[in-house]
Structure 1
Amino acid sequence: MDHAFTNTIYTVLVFVIFIGIVLWAYSSKSKKSFDEAANLIFDDEKNEQKTEQKNRESSKHE
């Protein structure tokens, strides 16, 4: 095998892997987990608000 043939095989292999990653990223099966990951930052804010509310309530009762 010469150098050009090896480069051709490598290029085709990398392209196939790239297409596989794109199909995986845009598949409907992955959408739910990606949406959950995208909303993780907002879950932290909700938890902070609940903690602050509990602290206010407990300080009112004291």
Structure 2
Amino acid sequence: MDINDLRGLSTVFAMIAFLAVCFWAYSGRKKHDFDEAATLPFEDDAAHINTRDARGVSSAEHADKDKGAIQ
């Protein structure tokens, strides 16, 4: 067994691993989880409205200041 045989085996193992990940990602059991994750950027940021930054200013106060600056 020389280096070329090892290279060939590593290529085969990499291809099998790739196909296994593809099969896992496109399986029906994971569809719900992936659909839920796909909508995360579009969800409401209500959970973050009352959070405070390092200075103790809430993000709602930042939003009020931003509105005043625009008007």
The TM-score normalised by the length of structure 1 is: 0.68
What does 1:1-62 align with in structure 2 at a 5 Å threshold?
1-44=1-44, 47=46
Question: How many Å separate the matches in 1 of 2:10 and 2:44?
Answer: 44
Unaligned stretches of 5+ residues in structure 1: 49-62
The TM-score normalised by the length of structure 2 is: 0.60
Question: How many Å separate the matches in 2 of 1:44 and 1:30?
Answer: 24
The Cα shift of 1:42 comes to: 1.9
C-alpha RMSD of the superposition: 2.1
Higher relative contact order (CA 8 A, sep 6+): 2
Please list every run of at least 4 consecutive aligned residues from structure 1 whose deviation after the TM superposition is greater than 3 angstroms: none
The Cα shift of 1:44 comes to: 2.3
Q: Which has the higher helix share?
A: 1
Identity, % of aligned positions: 38
Unaligned stretches of 5+ residues in structure 2: 48-71
What SS class does the counterpart of residue 43 from structure 2 fall into?
helix
The Cα shift of 1:6 comes to: 0.3
Letter in 2 for 1:33: D
